[in-house]
Chain A
Amino acid sequence: MRRLWTAARKFVVDSWVVFVSQVFELRHMWVWSFVMASFFPLTLLGFLLLFGEVSSERVLYVVTGSITYAVAMQAGLSLGQRIGGMKMRRVFDYYASLPISKVSFICGLNLNAVLLCVPSTMTLLVIGVLAFDVRVVNPYLLPVAFVLGGFSLAGVGAVIGFYSRSGQIASIVTQIANPILVFFAPVYIAEAALPGFLRYTAWVLPTTHVARLLRSAFGEVTEGIGQSIAILVGFVILGVILVQRGLDWRGDRPLA
């Protein structure tokens, strides 16, 4: 029992220190990171709601879709690019030469990515509530959607970052993954509006379930919530497993 406690404590401390190291490392770009994660979802939100028909259902989809987009972009895709950059700078050599587990490292990175989306998602949430009069009906679902969505999408970004052969490839793959995550899933539109085959493939995209949880938080039908939560938990676990396998920091490759 004592060994288990020591191991758990070490895991938490190591993850926290990795998280802190990454927070410090990103301090020069916090503002830009916020602008990047907010700008495109905010632009899309404005574009979709200022032009064309505005119904309460449409507002709900656009606001929750924009928040989902911000989480996908910040927690997922920018993490993928960041990991690609870390790979190029051989940052893993530093962490691999320290007595920490891969899981601690991954959790610290993911936590950092998830917390980085707080400002942009909060901004979009406030705009949604104040400007477009959406109401939070099931507030407990907001943190659930945020935490599970953030970690599952961070897992997607981390998988891209760790499995890509180089930083450049990670950057390209994240650009490809971006529209797939957002526009191939019922994020901005209802599931019924998706083309037939996408209704099936959308189930394997975490954004589908994050958007559904957010819509439920704002009062849409709440059926299938348990299923979405279970799927997102599965994504979080799968992400950690895949990254742990892909993080070959005791690798076989030459330096150059």
Chain B
Amino acid sequence: MAVAYEVVGLTKRYHGPMEVLANDRIDLRITSGEIVGIFGPNGAGKTTLVRQLMGLLRSTAGEIRLFDHDLVREPTVATQYVAYFAQETYYFWYLKPREILAITGRLRGLTSREANSQAHSLLTKFNLGNLAGKTLSRLSFGQARFVALLSVFMGNRAILILDEPTNDLDPLHRRAFWDYLWEVNSKGGITVLLVTHNVHEAEQVVHRVVIVDAGRIVASGTPRELKAGLEGQVRVEVALAEPLGNDEPPTFAGCERLPSKRNTLLLQTARENVDAVIRAVYDRFPSGAVSDLRVVPPTLEDVYVQTVGKEWV
């Protein structure tokens, strides 16, 4: 398999009154046809990393090779191979869905006919024909963002860099997007770099994961490889009928408490300890307080939480 990106010692330092080391000697190799998830907490340096990979930001040090090109020296080369979806995508409010797709296609080198045809296919595929006459300003945030997201598929680029693509999307559009991403990857061999906080959903599509924290890669591997570190562990999800109070949250022997949601207590424990934990939970809460209890294998999200060691944001 050809190497799409080869990144060596990539460093990005923002100068100014508050100097920030956003990327610190990052080494990364991305093979053609891979879907690589880049996860990490807010401010970890993910967006800085992908902006450099798109040639939108100058690196302080290090090398980026995109296929056979030196991207540090020739940043515009990225536009020939890569389509980029930025976190902030509200560029055009008064364009209609077909217009934004066709204009993007034209600027990626398609003829007018090709651009219009591809735009029509995408809008039809996602049943967006009924929105054709409306400008983005008249759509919901999620709809507008979804249309902007579809523009990355215009012009058939070999690599897609997607920064938080599913933010603001409803579950149906999220699912449709992940399915389509999987389809273009498996059929067209498109390489995808995916920055997302939605680890749970991304786990279904990524081939490989890179976890970034404080500007450095702190873990990388396939989801299976990363979860191997939690082998023998399970997660106990306890849904409570009433939300937890402000008191100190309950602890259970032999368990690690994961960051919990309002009505749900998440506990991680060794597989052989599960029975004891379940008994302890039912002993701790009065009858009827536990509305649901599930034992699930560790997820990529658990790996993330363990690796980064911070509250999920």
Chain A residues engaging chain B, CB cutoff 8 angstroms: 13-14, 17-18, 20-21, 24-28, 89-91, 93-100, 249-255
Contacts and interface: CB of A to CB of B under 8 A. Distances in A.
A253 B14 contact: yes
A252 B133 CA distance: 39
Contacts of A252: 14, 57-58
Nearest to A104: B107
Given A28-B94, A94-B86, 4 more contacts: A21-B99, A24-B99, A89-B88, A99-B79
B291 interface: no
Interface of B: 14, 20, 22, 47-48, 51, 54-58, 75-76, 78-80, 82-84, 86-96, 99, 103-104, 106-109, 135, 137
A14 B80 CA distance: 15
13 contacts: A17-B103, A21-B103, A28-B135, A91-B91, A94-B89, A94-B91, A95-B107, A96-B55, A98-B79, A99-B107, A250-B76, A251-B57, A254-B48
Closest 7 CB pairs of A and B: A99-B79, A97-B84, A98-B107, A94-B91, A91-B91, A17-B106, A21-B103
A95 B106 CA distance: 12
B56 A96 contact: yes
Contacts of A94: 86, 89, 91-92
A25 B135 CA distance: 9
B104 A98 contact: yes
Contacts of B20: 254
A254 to B, nearest CB: 5
- Residue in A17, A98, A100, A251 whose Cβ sees the most chain B Cβ within 10 Å: A98
B98 to A, nearest CB: 11
Contacts of B51: 255
B107 A100 contact: yes
B86 A90 contact: yes
A189 to B, nearest CB: 40
- Residue in A18, A96, A100 whose Cβ sees the most chain B Cβ within 10 Å: A96
A180 to B, nearest CB: 32
Contacts of A13: 106
Contacts of B99: 21, 24
Nearest to B84: A97
Contacts of A97: 54, 56, 78-79, 82-84, 86
A250 B88 contact: no
A254 B135 contact: no
A95 B136 CA distance: 18
A250 B92 CA distance: 20
A183 B79 CA distance: 45
Contacts of A98: 79, 104, 107-108
Nearest to A16: B106
A94 B55 CA distance: 12
A76 to B, nearest CB: 22
A164 B135 CA distance: 30
Given A17-B106, A20-B103, A27 B94 contact: yes
A24 B109 CA distance: 20
B94 A26 contact: yes
Nearest to B104: A98
